[in-house]
Amino acid sequence: MSERGVPRTVDVAVIGGGIVGLGIAWAVARSGRSVVVIDPDPAGGATFAAAGMLAAVSELHYQEEGLLELMLASAALYPAFIESLGPDSSTTGYRRTRTLNVGADSSDRQALADLRGVQLANGLQAPPLTIGEARALEPLLSPRIAGAFVAPQDHQVDPRRLAERLQLALAALAGGARAAVVRVNARGLLHENCADASSRVTGVALDGGATVKASEVIVANGLGAAGLGGLPEGLSLPLRPVYGDVLRLRVPEHLRPLLTCTVRGLVHGVPVYLVPRTDGTLVIGATQREDGCGTVSAGGVYQLLRDAQVLLPAVSELELLEMTARARPGTPDNAPLLGRVGRTGAQGDTDDIPGLIIATGFFRHGVLLTPVAAEYCLQLIEGTANDRWRRFRPDRFSASHPPASALPQGVHS
């Protein structure tokens, strides 16, 4: 360790300490490699606001069917991912409860039916419910809801607690000698040839002048990835901030349990979700806006409380604890930027830049996709990855980089 507590040399450096970066670091550390996570405020960004819905079925959107395989694969990995954190994994708030999808009026019911049709066409389970059946499952739902179906595969986790547990687990490995989380900002990538940003990546330059040498660097710092120094010339990471307002409320004792599972609703065409926590709180979200404003919107808070009460009238009796706004990193196709980055040589041959992996742009799905991102990044490091996820390559929007079809098959996918 240096005098600032930053490891001088590690096997893997992860830039970004959100839920994705921490999950990747945990997979790397469990493989026996040394790892450092570099982030001035671990879990303080989108992870802090996230509701933690593991909703591969309910989150299926039109024209985003390409994401479905990735989401389902990650959902299947979640039980083992949680169990890997040891006896205290129960503190993560992981709950394998179902999700109810409900509509407030006839138009919402039709929209849900259309969505359910897409889900069924993709082989997903989405049994319809009568209003009576929905209210038997959740008695405090409004009797005026117009339609409902259940997604038994969609579960939940508490992202704040999961991030805390991941940090504790990393610190516990060999007393922190093999894994560390350092609260410092990454300034840029280091290269084998400092004049060639397409040469092997050899580490990370930090604010203050310190450096970390690493055999592999994983860029997982969300929206900050595009502004990182030392990125390959011509690489385009088209990330955009998509803000959301999220509320947290306390449920009074006489109303507990308010809900036993997550409720995702449409109210006059506007989505709203309600996620119950085991500690007697409720998370309500999330507005979606691209106005560049990172503060909580008064209109957004009003909309969330109004629509939540349409579905669950007892919301009006809860205590408002917290209002939060954070930006999620969106991409043009709303799919992540995940994998290695290609380069074209002087002779027209193509390969991947050694030592560099990018994992960002997870948008709505960062919490859900953490286990699969962690697994895939470890496979890339170990040279065992196949072509399954090459469609999410981070250089797919870069005109000056070779298309995925031109890159070598096999371990560099």
Kindly tell me if the per-residue pLDDT of 124 is higher than 90. yes
What is the value of pTM for the model shown? 0.94
pLDDT level of residue 87 (50, 70, 90 thresholds): confident
Average confidence (pLDDT) over 112-135: 95
Question: pLDDT-based confidence at 401, cuts 50/70/90?
Answer: low
Q: To which residue do tokens 């069924």 refer?
A: 120
3-state secondary structure of 187: strand
Angle at the Cα of 277 from the Cα atoms of 272 and 281, rounded to 5 degrees: 80
Whole-number Å distance between alpha carbons of 85 and 19:
14
CB 15 within 8 A of CB 218: yes
Radius of gyration (C-alpha) of the chain in whole angstroms:
22
Cβ neighbours around 163 below 10 Å, total? 25
Please state the φ and ψ torsions of residue 356, each to the nearest 5 degrees.
Answer: -125, 125
- pLDDT of 8 strictly over 70: yes
Pairing between β-strand 240-250 and β-strand 319-330 as defined by DSSP bridges: antiparallel
Asked if residue 2 has pLDDT above 60, the reply is no
The tokens describing 398, both together, are 């870069």
Residue range 82-86: mean pLDDT, rounded: 96
Q: How far apart are CA 372 and CA 4, in angstroms?
A: 33
Asked, as a colleague might, if the bond just before 111 is cis with ω within 30 of 0, I would say no
At residue 403, the pLDDT reads 52
pLDDT at 134: 98
At 102, the amino acid letter reads V
**289 - beta bridge partners?**
243
What is the pLDDT at residue 406?
A: 46
Whole-angstrom distance, CA of residue 2 vs CA of residue 5: 5
pLDDT at 249 over 80: yes
pLDDT of residue 1: 37
Q: What pLDDT sits at residue 55?
A: 96
Residue 360's H or E segment, with its range, is strand 356-360
User: What is the percent of the chain where pLDDT is above 70?
Assistant: 94
Residue range 141-163: average pLDDT?
Answer: 97
Residue 408 has pLDDT above 60, yes or no: no
Q: Please tell me the predicted confidence (pLDDT) of residue 407.
A: 43
Q: Give the model's confidence band at 4: pLDDT under 50 very low, under 70 low, under 90 confident, else very high.
A: low
What digits encode the pLDDT tens for the residues 168-227?
Answer: 999 998 777 789 999 999 999 999 999 999 999 999 999 999 999 999 999 999 999 999
Mind listing the pLDDT tens digit for each residue in 325-360? 999 999 999 999 999 999 876 555 689 999 999 999
CA diameter of the chain: 73
**pLDDT recorded at residue 7:** 77
pLDDT digits (tens, 9 = 90+) for 274-302: 999 999 999 999 889 999 999 999 999 99
What are the respective helix, strand and coil percentages of the chain, to the nearest 5? 35, 25, 40
Higher pLDDT: 81 or 287? It is 81
CB 315 within 8 Å of CB 307 = no
Assign 409 a pLDDT band (cuts: 50, 70, 90): very low
Q: Mean pLDDT over all residues of the chain?
A: 93
- Mean pLDDT check: name the lowest of 81-90, 159-168, 248-257: 81-90
Q: Which DSSP string corresponds to 197-252?
A: TTSPEEEEEETTS-EEEEEEEEE--GGGGGG-BTPPTT-----EEEEEEEEEEEPP
Residue listed under structure tokens 């994401």 = 67
Please compute the mean of the pLDDT values over residues 20-39 and round it to a whole number. 97
- Count of C-beta atoms within a 10 Å radius of residue 128: 14
